[in-house]
Amino acid sequence: MKDGVRESDLIGALEEAQTGAVKLDATRYVNTFPAKKHAHFLIPSGTVHCSGADSMILEINLSAYIFTFKLWDWGRLGLDGKLRPVHIDHGKKVINWNRSEKWVAENLVNQFEPLIETAKHTKEKTGLYKTEQIYTERDWFTDYVDYDNSGKTLNMLNLVEGDNVVIESLDDAFEAFEVRYVETFVIPAQVERFRIRNIGKSDHVAVLRARIM
């Protein structure tokens, strides 16, 4: 939310907009951050959020937190010709009003922590916010990266840069398979070691890995 926004003003504006009498002036209440390729936005529970036009998003979340209450639907109509339903009554009960512009910029936007930096491999921790259970990290590399999964946790991975990689088991736990740009794949908890190797034309590739820690 923008600094200084009062709960009563926003909720009142949302309720009035949902009657169809006026359109919500979202820019009056909601702060925005420009997005570009590989930007990361952390959204802990209670954070008012949406994505802008022409964005392709890799969304990582816990199934335990699947509920998102829609406050405004930009005036779009359903098949019945009426404004599509929203969840203002539920949403207003869980909004965290302390998420100011400055706080969000310092805690939720592009928070990267370098873990490994070599000529051929860079690993960075990318979140999530400290109240969440998911651990995410991104590997940039030229040739290959070996992953240690001795902690035996489920791995969800996505190729976020590069055109083609191959996934190989270092213990013959599974047959090698190929993954292309923006595809998501799973490495089960029982696989202790695996390798991701660049086999495409891209000089550098990047893989985002998410797991429960």
When pLDDT is averaged across residues 106-127 and rounded to a whole number, the result is 93
Asked if 141 and 207 sit in the same domain, the reply is yes
Q: Which of 178, 130, 134, 138 has its CA nearest to residue 157?
A: 138
Task: Return the higher-pLDDT residue of 68 and 90.
Answer: 90
Q: What is the pTM of this model?
A: 0.87
**Residue 138, both tokens:** 């991104």
- Looking at 130-139, 140-149, 179-188, which range is the least confident one? 130-139
Asked if 193 and 96 sit in the same domain, the reply is no
Q: What is the CATH number of the domain that holds 123?
A: 2.60.120.10
What is the rounded CA–CA span in Å between residue 174 and residue 69?
A: 40
Q: Are 185 and 207 in contact (CB under 8 A)?
A: no
Range of the domain at 65: 1-110
When pLDDT is averaged across residues 69-81 and rounded to a whole number, the result is 94
Query: How many domains does one find in the chain?
Result: 2
Asked if 135 and 44 sit in the same domain, the reply is no
What is the rounded CA–CA span in Å between residue 164 and residue 197?
A: 9
Query: Which residue among 58, 79, 110 closes a domain?
Result: 110
Q: What pLDDT digit, counting tens, does each position of 153-188 carry? A: 999 999 999 999 999 999 999 999 999 999 999 999
Taking CA atoms, 38 is separated from 35, 89, 125, 207, in Å, by 9, 34, 13, 11
